[in-house]
Amino acid sequence: MSSIQAKTYVSNPSQKLAFIGLGVMGYPMAAHLLASGHQVTVYNRTAAKATQWMDEFGANPNAHVAATPSQAAHGADIVFTCVGNDEDLKAVILGESGALAGMHPGSVLVDHTTASAQIARELFLVCQRHQIAFIDAPVSGGQAGAQNGQLTVMCGGNESDFLRIQPVAQAYSKAITLMGASGSGQLTKMVNQICIAGLVQALSEAIAFGMKAGLEMNTVLEVIGKGAAQSWQLDNRGKTMVQDQFDFGFAVDWMRKDLGIVLAEAHRNGARLPVTALVDQFYADVQHMGGHRFDTSSLIKRLQ
């Protein structure tokens, strides 16, 4: 039996939904929507993943699978996407059998991919021409947050459209906030990734320093975690870094993709990101060490 359960505060009229992209994030997010009483049709480019999802949740009569994004989106009130990057988004939304081809005027497209602000604005305009609403809505909280329905969702778009999707997206979120016009959700996610990059590097240096100094680092982390050095990264990754364990969700390859988006946006807007650019190269070092699928806390391996 699945561990996904409907969250008690989610109480919405059942809607017809589509979810396109069943990766480590989309898979449980779609399940939360189903558990909340909605009709959910899923699509994944690797069909085996959609089959797996149906094997797990198909006993629910509201669960369905489609062969193409357009078939999944046909008749849906809201279509959710969560794929890899800008090009993946274009393929599943704008392609010949993309989601847009199956959507009807008055429906809403919500994109949870971490992508560029530029593609968000482009999709907003394309959808607008088809009388379809678009919300860019990248998420933070990682695989555990998706599984537990505790994601933070950062949205860009029109307020009226946001208010339509907000109660539905609460199925998998602890906070969902409209940040501004189209693209603002993606820009906010970039701020998030800048913060994480700096925090993980600092934590890596601190732990490596403490171990070289001969300190009992689990005790050190417990002590400093009660003071000004406390952070989510320290609380959730500090001890696993000490234990040389790096199999906790968000991978180095994906972080480098995100930081590439950040640095490209900074080049456009003139922001100076010297630490972020340096940490991006440190993640490249981890990749060269074979750590493509290590989680982001693996920065410490460069220092060991």
- What amino acid positions are annotated as catalytic residues? 189
With CA atoms as reference, report the closest residue to 116 among 272, 264, 252, 251.
Answer: 264
Residue 173 phi/psi, 5-degree rounding, is: -125, 155
Spatial CA neighbour of 25 closest among 115, 114, 136: 114
List all residues 6 or more positions away from 278 whose beta carbon is below 8 Å from its beta carbon. none
- Kindly list the distances between the CA atom of residue 81 and the CA atoms of 22, 41, 42, in Å, as whole numbers in the listed order: 9, 12, 10
Structure token pair of residue 273? 């990101």
Rounded to the nearest 5°, which phi and psi values hold at 75? 80, 0
Give the other-Cβ count within 10 Å of 220's Cβ: 18
The 3-state DSSP class for residue 76 equals: coil
Q: In the structure encoding, which two tokens stand for residue 38, read together? A: 């909605």
Provide the token pair at 107: 């429906």
| Residue at 116: amino acid letter | S
d(CA 123, CA 111): 10
